[in-house]
Amino acid sequence: MKKKLLKTLTGVGCALFLLAGCTKVSEQEIKPAEEVTQEAAPTEEAKPEEPTEAPADEEAPAAEGTAMKDRSGNDIVVPAEVNTIVSMAPSITRVLIDMGLADKIVASDTNSQASYGSELGADVSYMDMMAPDQEALTAMAPDIIFTSGMSSVDGNDAFGAVRAAGVCVADIPSSASLKAIEEDLIFIGTCVGTEAKAQELVDEMEEAIAEIAKIAATIPEEEKKTVLFELFTPSADYPTIYTAGQGTYINEMLETVGAINVAGDQTEQWPALTEEACVGADPAVILTADMYTPDVINVLLTMKGWENVKAIKDGAVYQLNADQVNQPNHHVIDAMIDMAGFIYPEYFDESVDELRPAA
């Protein structure tokens, strides 16, 4: 599984979130597949009737729904009433559940099943987010399908046939900033008619961010700690460390809590660093979101050649909840609070737990 995962991530130039259902923000335009049909020319025997004009006092019926753009910039028409939803990314599924819409989800992706299947209905259908059964989805005729950037990571629209069938497909590429995550929440709420709940989640995010930043501002410069955030632990087969660089909400979170990201000078969003580079950075704290290495903390603490790294000597190696940190939704605040407590326990006491998003 790890070999397949890393091969996929290397191919798309990032190292984040496959099983979490998220990825680097895709810059590729999603191009719906078009069905081209050719009607037979009418014969003299079957000549079509001449169109008749509608009475002047009659207006053509307006299309039901609201025209808008999705988060990828595609034009969509959201039905006036949304009663059946397909969510093809766990980050989105978590939002819908927290908005009280679990009972409206009729199909989802297998990664959502792994993380949140127990909170969804027993009759929900599950599919591969990168290769969904478009025929089955079209037959379901859901009111809306939410997709993520992962569904078009290879440049192909995995939902082209569903779009062509007239189903509303709203794409939400994995956001790279906390502000963009807030905008995603508002967009989802607008689509499904839970605008007030979406705004509530955004307000909770902003309150927590502001309070964390306020506390972080009291940390003296000489006490600032360097932090290595890692997604995958190096091994003999894969000796590099995938981490978060500039232009990511993870880097933004580390900076917000007052930490210094050892990869903060990397212009790539998800750079692959050598072990030598990481050891040379001598991080004071190591945070891992590795979901694949058994007993990952002990593995990190006993890695050969890392004995003199400050974080290893101090035992300052901590595991973050991968779903919370990898999925761009309001629960990144949970991950940020954990980061703050792990890095600066003397500044962030248990009172910050009160800032966690309600679920």
Quick: pLDDT tens for 85-142.
999 999 999 999 999 999 999 999 999 999 999 999 999 999 999 999 999 999 999 9
Reference 301, options 317, 287, 289, 288; nearest CA is 317
Note the helical H segments in 165-309.
Answer: 178-192, 195-216, 249-256, 275-281, 296-301
Q: What is the pLDDT of residue 237?
A: 87
Q: What is the pLDDT of residue 153?
A: 62
Residues facing 126 on adjacent strands: 108
Chain centroid offset of residue 224 CA: 29
Q: What is the pLDDT of residue 218?
A: 97
Query: What is d(CA 291, CA 265) in angstroms, rounded to the nearest whole number?
Result: 26
Decide if pLDDT at 49 tops 60. Answer: no
Q: What is the pLDDT of residue 152?
A: 66
Average pLDDT over residues 214-228: 97
Confidence of residue 32 (pLDDT cuts 50, 70, 90): very low
Q: Residue 100 corresponds to which amino acid?
A: G
Cβ neighbour number for residue 282 with a 10 Å cutoff:
15
Query: What is d(CA 307, CA 131) in angstroms, rounded to the nearest whole number?
Result: 44
Q: What is the pLDDT of residue 305?
A: 95
Query: What is d(CA 339, CA 254) in angstroms, rounded to the nearest whole number?
Result: 7
Cβ neighbour number for residue 2 with a 10 Å cutoff:
15
Q: What is the pLDDT of residue 359?
A: 63
DSSP code at position 319: E
DSSP code at position 351: G
Average pLDDT over residues 324-331: 97
All residues at 6 or more sequence positions from 217 whose CB lies less than 8 Å from its CB, including other chains: 258
Question: Taking every pair of C-alpha atoms in the chain, what is the biggest distance, in angstroms?
Answer: 90
The mean pLDDT value of the chain amounts to: 85
Strands of the 260-261 sheet, one edge to the other: 260-261, 226-230, 285-288, 317-319
| Strand (E) or helix (H) holding 274 | strand 272-274
Residue 329 tokens read as: 């939704």
Least confident of 127-131, 225-229, 251-255: 127-131
Taking a C-beta distance cutoff of 8 angstroms, is the pair 328, 92 a contact? no
Q: What is the pLDDT of residue 151?
A: 67
Q: What is the pLDDT of residue 276?
A: 96
Q: What is the pLDDT of residue 154?
A: 66
Confidence of residue 309 (pLDDT cuts 50, 70, 90): very high
Taking a C-beta distance cutoff of 8 angstroms, is the pair 105, 201 a contact? no
Query: What is d(CA 314, CA 68) in angstroms, rounded to the nearest whole number?
Result: 52
Catalogue all structural domains in the chain, each as residue range(s) with its CATH number.
63-174 (3.40.50.1980), 220-355 (3.40.50.1980)
